A and B are shown apart, each in its own frame.
Chain A
């Protein structure tokens, strides 16, 4: 019914997309227009955390955001997180803890954790970091290893 141009700053680079429908979700723009397939579609109703990205640094469920609502804002996906120091440390901690089973939920976990660990100063407590991950579901139920990865990533950043 209606579509127009959309500008987003994705992983630090301004990008323009032509004719983006008003009803399009950020998740779909990222995957299908920007070609960033690291962000996963899980439940599409805000209940699983697989599609977590950072909008202006804040963990956000990209399935529940209309792309035009965040026009001009800064969006960081798993690809952007993986290119930064904090993200690399988190990914390494996940790998070393064996916190990846099928892997589908992993980008959401990594983005949600890296989002909390960014910034200077002492990282938040382990309890607070785990609270921040409570909306991320792992259907393989590999939570013990994920908890270990959280502790390890925090230690590495202290």
Chain B
């Protein structure tokens, strides 16, 4: 029943975790968050670490609001965010994306830090985190640093973190009307062929569009964003943004969908994601309505 073996280490302080990581040769140690992705890689022998370092006992299972910012400890199960009504109200796109990860029982283990650390091109969380300008607080042997996740993420299973660095928390700087839409073969327990996040953030440029399902990973599409010139874009602007997104996205064909199908999906989903975000704007914040 067991074909793999490794030693499980469960440090209870960040310092101890960093020390253990510093002492190990690269490839010998794997970092375990919720385990919903990593354990499959180990069981299928895609990686063969000698040690697995679990973050479960670190004091990072929290979230808190700091003014308009939401700070999420990297090992907090996603389910805790999903069950919070403030998260749903203030960051609807994030809430939606979280609900699209696996199933409720899976989300009681899966973590935000793990999702970033694994950096799957099909991640349902990375597009909305990019659209919301999320930042990662990173701890390591040389102290603490904080970067936009756009700088931290590289490609599937690879980040710019040093070998002994860990994501301590993820910071979402401001509440924002936002939406996350996807296309899959089956709605639950499946991986998205394409994911589209849209957000209208307080700091300009206001409109953010990010796509998932791309190689090497999800990214913001500033070319599409540039088509949206006001808080309330016209139908033509939305259509142009959708077409620009489809043209610029680096899609490939793989087992989940062909490149051309993905492009077709994006033209529809980008438009819908913008419209959904518009529908979620507080009524008074609608510039046109406020003016009339």
- A24-B2, A61-B109, A132-B104 known; A1+B50 contact, CB < 8 A: yes
CB of B268 within 8 Å of the partner chain: no
Majority SS at the chain B contact face: loop
B105-A2 in contact (CB<8A) = no
A61-B39 in contact (CB<8A) = no
B8: which of A32, A48, A60, A66 is its contact (CB, 8 Å)? A66
Nearest CB in chain B to that of A52: its residue: B105
CB of B119 within 8 Å of the partner chain: no
CB of A96 within 8 Å of the partner chain: no
Chain B hits for A59, CB < 8 A: 104-105, 108
Closest 3 A/B residue pairs (Cβ):
A135-B103, A22-B8, A2-B7
Quote the shortest CB–CB distance from A103 to chain B (angstroms).
20
A2-B6 in contact (CB<8A) = yes
Which of B1, B56, B103, B187 has the most chain A CB atoms closer than 10 A to its own CB? B103
Nearest CB in chain B to that of A22: its residue: B8
CB of B102 within 8 Å of the partner chain: yes
Chain B hits for A45, CB < 8 A: 40
B103-A66 in contact (CB<8A) = no
A127-157: which have CB < 8 Å to B?
Answer: 131-132, 134-137
Q: List 6 additional A-B contacts (Cβ < 8 Å) besides A2-B5, A23-B52, A69-B56.
A: A22-B5, A23-B4, A64-B34, A64-B106, A66-B39, A68-B8
B8-A69 in contact (CB<8A) = yes
Give the docked Cα–Cα distance between A25 and B187 (Å): 27
Chain B hits for A25, CB < 8 A: 39
Which of A22, A28, A65 has the most chain B CB atoms closer than 10 A to its own CB? A22
Give the docked Cα–Cα distance between A59 and B189 (Å): 16
B188-A1 in contact (CB<8A) = no
Which of A2, A68, A112 has the most chain B CB atoms closer than 10 A to its own CB? A2
How many residue-residue contacts, CB under 8 A, span A and B? 93
Chain B hits for A69, CB < 8 A: 8, 10, 35, 54, 56
CB of A80 within 8 Å of the partner chain: no
- A23-B42, A69-B10, A69-B56 known; A49+B105 contact, CB < 8 A: yes
A66-B5 in contact (CB<8A) = no
Chain B hits for A58, CB < 8 A: 79, 108
Nearest CB in chain A to that of B40: its residue: A45
Number of B residues contacting the other chain (C-beta, 8 Å)?
31
Binary B-proximity of A59-88 (CB < 8 A = 1, otherwise 0): 111001110110000000000000000000
Nearest CB in chain A to that of B43: its residue: A44
- A2-B7, A22-B52, A24-B2 known; A65+B109 contact, CB < 8 A: yes
B5-A23 in contact (CB<8A) = yes
CB of B36 within 8 Å of the partner chain: yes
B106-A2 in contact (CB<8A) = no
A48-B189 in contact (CB<8A) = yes
B89-107: which have CB < 8 Å to A?
Answer: 102-106
Q: 23 A-B pairs, CB-CB below 8 angstroms?
A: A1-B6, A1-B7, A2-B5, A2-B6, A2-B7, A2-B8, A21-B2, A23-B4, A24-B2, A28-B2, A46-B36, A46-B102, A58-B108, A60-B108, A61-B103, A64-B39, A64-B106, A64-B109, A69-B10, A69-B54, A69-B56, A134-B103, A135-B105
Nearest CB in chain B to that of A67: its residue: B8
Chain A hits for B52, CB < 8 A: 22-23, 66
Binary A-proximity of B1-36 (CB < 8 A = 1, otherwise 0): 110111110100000000000000000000010111
Give the docked Cα–Cα distance between A137 and B105 (Å): 13
Chain A hits for B32, CB < 8 A: 66
Quote the shortest CB–CB distance from A110 to chain B (angstroms).
13
B2-A60 in contact (CB<8A) = no
Binary A-proximity of B178-201 (CB < 8 A = 1, otherwise 0): 000000000111000000000000
Quote the shortest CB–CB distance from B5 to chain A (angstroms).
4
A134: which of B50, B54, B104, B108 is its contact (CB, 8 Å)? B104
Nearest CB in chain B to that of A48: its residue: B189
